[in-house]
Chains A and B, each alone.
Chain A
Amino acid sequence: DAKTTQPNSMESNEEEPVHLPCNHSTISGTDYIHWYRQLPSQGPEYVIHGLTSNVNNRMASLAIAEDRKSSTLILHRATLRDAAVYYCILRFSGGGSGTYKYIFGTGTRLKVLA
Chain B
Amino acid sequence: EPEVTQTPSHQVTQMGQEVILRCVPISNHLYFYWYRQILGQKVEFLVSFYNNEISEKSEIFDDQFSVERPDGSNFTLKIRSTKLEDSAMYFCASSEWAEGAYEQYFGPGTRLTVT
Chain A contacts to B: CB under 8 angstroms = 32, 34, 36, 38, 42-46, 49, 51, 87, 91, 94, 96, 98-107
Chain B contacts to A: CB under 8 angstroms = 4, 31, 33, 35, 42-45, 48, 50, 55-56, 58, 91, 93, 98-99, 101, 103-109
- Is the Cβ of B42 less than 8 Å from the Cβ of A104? yes
- Is the Cβ of B45 less than 8 Å from the Cβ of A102? yes
- Which residue of chain A is the closest to B51 with respect to CB atoms? A98
A–B Cβ pairs within 8 angstroms, 21 of them: A36-B104, A43-B4, A43-B93, A43-B106, A44-B93, A44-B104, A45-B106, A46-B105, A87-B42, A96-B55, A98-B31, A98-B98, A99-B55, A100-B48, A100-B98, A101-B48, A102-B33, A102-B35, A102-B45, A102-B48, A104-B45
Given known A-B contacts A43-B109, A94-B55, A96-B55, A103 and B45 have beta carbons under 8 A apart: yes
Residue in A46, A51, A105, A107 whose CB lies within 8 Å of B104: A46
Give the distance to chain B from A52, nearest Cβ to Cβ, in Å. 12
- Is the Cβ of A34 less than 8 Å from the Cβ of B101? yes
- Which residue of chain A is the closest to B45 with respect to CB atoms? A102
How far does the alpha carbon of A45 sit from the alpha carbon of B91 in the complex, in Å?
12
- Which residue of chain A is the closest to B48 with respect to CB atoms? A100
Give the distance to chain A from B31, nearest Cβ to Cβ, in Å. 8
A34, A49, A99, A106, most chain B CB atoms within 10 A:
A99
Which residues on A sit within 8 Å (CB–CB) of B31? 98
- Closest 6 A/B residue pairs (Cβ): A43-B106, A46-B103, A99-B55, A32-B101, A94-B56, A104-B43
